[in-house]
Amino acid sequence: MTVPTTPAATPPATENALSISGLDVTLGGLPVVRGLDLHARPGEFVSILGPSGSGKSTTFGVLTGDVHPDAGDVRIEGDGLGRGSRVAYMPQRDALLPWRTVLNNVTLGLEVRGVRRRAARQKVQPLLEPFGLSGFENRYPAQLSGGMRQRAALLRTVAQEQPVLLLDEPFGALDALTRSQMQRWLEQMWEQYRWTVLLITHDVREALYLSDRVYVFSPRPARVAAEVVVDFPRPRTPELFSDPRFAALEAELLKQLIG
């Protein structure tokens, strides 16, 4: 468990699932991101913490192709972004369509990418049980709990089989108990599938519980103020919260955020 006093050297792009170097973004004449460098290795869980309005979602917007940067190099598995996005994005709200069943919601991302509905259903079918959705395929979003809706939204995201998953505060709207349950569930699922994940969160505990590394963004315009390596052993359990080392690292991150 270390907190580097200088930015960690970014490995060559070919070693990374995601690599961002020297990213600059200006929106409406306002500098939002300046000289941003970050990376994620294949199968790594990386979180981004930062003040509200510090450019976290803008960075995601660059990766999804919705925001055009002024400068910088962005690569997925060594390749530039190009015209087609190679990330799968899960927004803060589950964004499930109320008129589509669970099955038709979780296949939506694949269908948007051009996969025929029948093939999309065959692809997601084996994932319904591990995502806790088996037996609920024909239910509608209004018939699901908040946690089940988020699991459906995550399944819709991972089913697209993109190299990088972008999770934008996926549990922020849940109550405290459900949120804690979902964090533990996501950690267990990540252990099983080892997705490459970039997570935006305002919850320091969530970042430390889930992540291999945490980037702390400065106030706008965003840059990396700190890069924190989280080396607690996996699988992780809620007992980790009572570990004095966890408390010390949590305090260090809060200090970085507050300044």
Q: Are residues 170 and 74 in the same domain?
A: yes
Q: Are residues 56 and 181 in the same domain?
A: yes
pTM of this prediction exceeds 0.85:
yes
Give the end of a domain, one of 161, 179, 210.
161
**Count of the separate structural domains present in the chain:** 2
Q: Are residues 76 and 192 in the same domain?
A: yes
Where in the sequence is the domain holding 187, given as residue range(s)?
1-86+162-259
Give the end of a domain, one of 135, 161, 187.
161
Q: Are residues 76 and 171 in the same domain?
A: yes
> What CATH number does residue 67 fall under?
3.40.50.300
Q: Are residues 31 and 80 in the same domain?
A: yes
Reading the chain (259 residues) residue by residue, the pLDDT tens digits are: 333 323 344 444 458 999 999 999 999 999 999 999 999 999 999 999 988 888 899 999 999 989 999 999 999 988 877 656 789 999 888 899 999 999 999 999 999 888 999 999 999 999 999 999 999 999 999 999 999 999 999 999 999 989 999 999 988 878 889 899 999 999 999 999 999 999 999 999 999 999 999 999 999 999 999 999 999 999 999 899 999 999 999 998 988 887 6
Non-local (6+) Cβ contacts of 18 within 8 A are 38, 39, 40, 63, 75, 76, 163, 164, 196, 198
Q: Are residues 43 and 126 in the same domain?
A: no
